[in-house]
Amino acid sequence: MDTPGQDIESITGMVAGGAQIVVFTTGRGTPTGCPIAPVIKVTGNPETFIKMKDNIDINAGAIIEGVSSIQKVGEEIFNEIIEVINGKLTKSEALKHREFGIYKLISTF
């Protein structure tokens, strides 16, 4: 989906475009959520996961650590989506992260 690159505006754009759940990848652990749709945060950085366990839902860094495989982490993400669909709160929901931002395009004509 073509949305702005900034984290909050990007999530807002995806939800405005119809996303019911956002799977948001972050390397540095952006603490963001959305008031309209649940945001499942995934990091591929094991250090970020350790430092921000309360903020990140999935540690995809287990792949580069050799502890898990791409397929297993993919299944973990899929299962997390199913659980969230069935009412499980994401970390951002539990922490009450409800950021929302509208990106403004300035016309030059």
Q: Residue ranges per domain, the chain?
A: 7-94
Question: Is it the case that residue 60 has pLDDT exceeding 80?
Answer: yes
Specify the pTM: 0.87
Q: What is the pLDDT of residue 1?
A: 63
> What is the β-pairing status of strands 58-59 and 39-43?
parallel
* 105 confidence band (pLDDT: 50, 70, 90): low
Distant-in-sequence, close-in-space partners of 103: CB < 8 Å, separation ≥ 6: 3, 4, 6, 9, 12, 13
The pLDDT value recorded for residue 58 is 97
> Alpha helices of 53-96 — where are they, by DSSP H?
70-85, 91-94
